Amino acid sequence: MTKPRLTYDQHNQLGGCLAAIRRELLTLEVQLANAYPKVGPEAVPARRMAQDCELLGEALGSLEDRLYDEHPRQGLFLKSPRLVEQP
């Protein structure tokens, strides 16, 4: 038995939420990076947030791949938050 896949609308909603979280995380990471040294133990929170931001970007890319695989005709018209946002 296979699991039900996301609908086109669910893909868009989930992708939009993940992109918003990534933008917020990036904003917070920049704030930390500007407030603390770039090396040493004080730099760890900003570095970890940067890593998390990268992982969220990878998750968005994978989700976008699934969208095109599962909804090829509709996926052509998606305005991906990932493509619109500038890191």
Give domain status of residue 86, yes or no. no
pLDDT at 76: 53
Give dist(CA 52, CA 43) in Å, integer: 14
Contact (CB, 8 A) for 22 and 60:
yes
pLDDT at 85: 45
Give domain status of residue 3, yes or no. no
pLDDT at 71: 86
For residue 22, the enclosing domain spans 8-80
Q: What is the total count of domains within the chain?
A: 1
Give domain status of residue 2, yes or no. no
DSSP 19-86: HHHHHHHHHHHHHHHHHS-SSSGGGHHHHHHHHHHHHHHHHHHHHHHHHHHH-HHHHTT---HHHH--
pLDDT at 46: 93
Give domain status of residue 37, yes or no. yes
Give domain status of residue 56, yes or no. yes
Give domain status of residue 32, yes or no. yes
Give the mean pLDDT per block of 10 residues along the chain (87 residues). 89 90 94 94 94 93 89 64 46
Give domain status of residue 23, yes or no. yes
